Each structure stands twice: as C-alpha cells, then as structure tokens.
Amino acid sequence: MPQANATILGAGSMGTALSTLLAANNYKVTLWDMEEDVVRGINHLRSNPRSLKDIKLHRSIRATHNMQKALIGADLVVFVVASQAVREVASQAKDFIASNCVVVCAAKGLETGTHKTMTEVLGESLGSGFKNQITAFSGPTLAIEIAQKKPTAVMIASERSNTYSKRAVDAFKSDWFKVYETSDVVGVEYSGVAKHTLAIMAGMVFGLGYGSNTYGWLMTEGFRELSRLIWKLGGQEQTVYGIAGLGDALATCFAKGSRNRTFGELLGKGKSVAKANETIGETVEGIHAVDALFQISKKEKLNLPILQTIYQIVSNKKKASKSFTELLDNF
C-alpha cells in the first residue's frame, strides 16, 4: 500500500507538532510556510527554527513555501495558520487541493468582521464541492506535549459522519493520541474560541496577584457565561463539558506556556495590549476571540459581565486592575 501524503498549511508550533504525529502514523508530510528560514531549517537541519526548536523532525517531513508543490498528491490537508489568515490561505490553496482530499481545520477562531467560524470560512473559500470533506479538529492540544507524545485526546467534528471524517480520525489516532468523532461542529468550534478568552482571563487573575480562591471563582463564572453563549448558538451541552470544551479550557488556562494565558498575565501586571502582544512574539488568537464573542453576545442579548470585563481590557484598553476591581465589587 503506497504511503499516504499529508500537507500542513502553517509551520507554527501546532503545525510542527501535528507533523510529528502524522509522520509517526506513516504519512509523508509536507509543511507549507511563507518564512524561508523556517522552510530551510526544516529541510536542512530537521528542526523548526521558529517553533519547537528542540524537536528533531523525521526525515519524512519536508517543507516548502510553494503552495502548489505543497499540495500536489495530498490525501489530507490540515489548516493550522492563524485564524485571520485562513480565508487568504484557503483561496491560494483551492486550485491545488484534490477533489477527494480530506480537509481538517485545526485553526481556532472567528473571522474578524464576519464572525464566521473557520469551517464556514473554509467552506466559502474552497467551494461547495468540499462541503462534506471539511472537519473541525479541537481539544486540549498543547503543541509541545503532542511533539513529546504525551497522552492526548481530541474531537473531530463534521456535520455528518462519512468516509472523509473517518479518514480524518484514522489519520491522527494512535495508541497515545485518542480521537473522538462528533457532529456538533458549532459546539466544537465555539468552545475552541471560548477557551482563548478564558485563558486570557486566567493569566490576568494571576498577573494581578489574586489567589487560587479568586481564580476558582472567576474561572467557574467565566466558563458558565461562555457556555450559555455556546448553547444559545446551537452547541451541545455534552460538547461544552467534554474534551473540546472544558478539557481544552482547563489545559490552556493552567498551562504556563500558553500564549493566551501569558498575554493575560502580562496585562494583569500592567503592560499595554500592544506591549504584551509584542512580548509574546507570535499570534495571540484570544485578542480577536474576545472582541468577536463580545459582539456576538450583544447581538444575542446576553448579559455576560466577565466577558464584558475582558473585552474592556483587551479591546478598549482599560487597565486590568481597575476593571477587575469593578467586576468583583459588582458581583
């Protein structure tokens, strides 16, 4: 049986980590990225000079910045670029993706302006012919732990179970990487967005010097608020309290290496949004997520005070210390 081919669009930390997983599952993997130093490092040094630098990559993993070369012969395409770049990258890729290809979206976010989910963006960009081939991939997936083969579980969501969703599950599953299938695309995608917001809040709580009591209180209330929003949008309760919801939120909020949590901690310590973002040096998906979720909550006429507080800090540049004092006084 010939070796299957997988293309990962985006050679950041998650793209690099997933390349190691697919390579271990006997896929020949091509990583696409715009940065020539990243492509050169992967091809010549067997490591990514930008992300997960200490992880040695298998020789079946190669890289290119040529979109057509990246996608030739691909049986599986994984989108792991920043959420705000998904539409542009998909538009570049659509003419080169084979008609029978499985498309997996591992990007977590909502498009600025339209507030569309990433699978909606992909559906529009790739065309109606791919409607039944696009799946959403989400769960507690810290990139370094995937690269280190630490036990992990994720959800793969598609509107209906079919041969494409089964192929996506089979591509990723292993003895240490568990994959569960669901039809709750809305719940999986919005849970992935909500966790960005919760992680920023988690960081701010610690950055402000509050203790575990405050952390437990605010995290519970924050999760409850965002759960209400997801249910209002059509997500299922079992998803919100499952791996893609609570599981992803717990992993990201407790992980000190999480970009969103680190960003929040810097805000809590008094840094401006711009300075905190600059310090992180990579995409902080929560910045867009906070704004999008707040705008959606207003449209849905939901009163979510914790989300509003985070929005005031991240989008309206209010001081975290003042905003949290007001929040706690008014609870």
pLDDT value at residue 290: 96
- Averaged pLDDT, 206-217: 95
- Dist. CA 217–CA 202, nearest whole Å: 11
Domain identity same for 191 and 176:
no
pTM of the prediction? 0.94
- Longest CA–CA separation in the chain, Å: 65
Specify whether the CB–CB gap between 146 and 196 falls below 8 A: no
pLDDT value at residue 24: 96
Indicate whether 194 pLDDT > 70. yes
Q: Which helix (H) or strand (E) holds 93?
A: helix 86-93
Domain identity same for 147 and 196:
no
What CATH number does the domain containing 198 carry?
Answer: 1.10.1040.10
pLDDT value at residue 160: 83
Which pair of structure tokens corresponds to residue 251?
A: 């992993």
Phi, psi of 203 (to 5 degrees): -65, -40
Domain containing 205: what range?
186-330
DSSP-derived letter for residue 128 is G
Final residue before a domain boundary, out of 183, 215, 247: 183
pLDDT value at residue 1: 52
Q: Tell me what the pLDDT averaged over the chain comes to.
A: 95
Cα 272 to chain centroid distance, Å, stands at 24
Domain identity same for 109 and 150:
yes
pLDDT value at residue 282: 81
What residue ranges in 39-98 does DSSP mark as E strands? 61-64, 76-79
* Residue 95 burial (10 A CB sphere; 0-12, 13-18, 19+): exposed
Domain identity same for 118 and 210:
no
Domain identity same for 34 and 156:
yes
Indicate whether 331 pLDDT > 90. no
Q: Domain count for the chain, please give it.
A: 2
Domain identity same for 169 and 190:
no
Catalytic residue among 28, 195, 269, 317: 195
Domain identity same for 280 and 291:
yes
Domain identity same for 173 and 295:
no
pLDDT value at residue 2: 65
What proportion of the chain, given as a percentage, has pLDDT over 90?
94
Kindly indicate the confidence band of residue 308, based on its pLDDT and cuts at 50, 70 and 90. very high
Q: Which residues contact 88 (CB under 8 A, 6 or more apart)?
A: none
- The per-residue pLDDT for range 153-193, each reduced to its tens digit, is 999 999 888 899 999 999 999 999 999 999 999 999 999 99
Indicate whether 118 pLDDT > 80. yes
| Long-range contacts at 143-147 (CB < 8 A, ≥ 24 apart) | 143/13, 143/14, 143/16, 143/17, 143/51, 143/52, 144/13, 144/17, 144/52, 144/55, 144/257, 146/14, 146/17, 146/18, 146/20, 146/21, 146/177, 147/16, 147/17, 147/20, 147/52, 147/55
Indicate whether 324 pLDDT > 80. yes
Specify whether the CB–CB gap between 62 and 34 falls below 8 A: no
Please say if 195 is a catalytic residue. yes
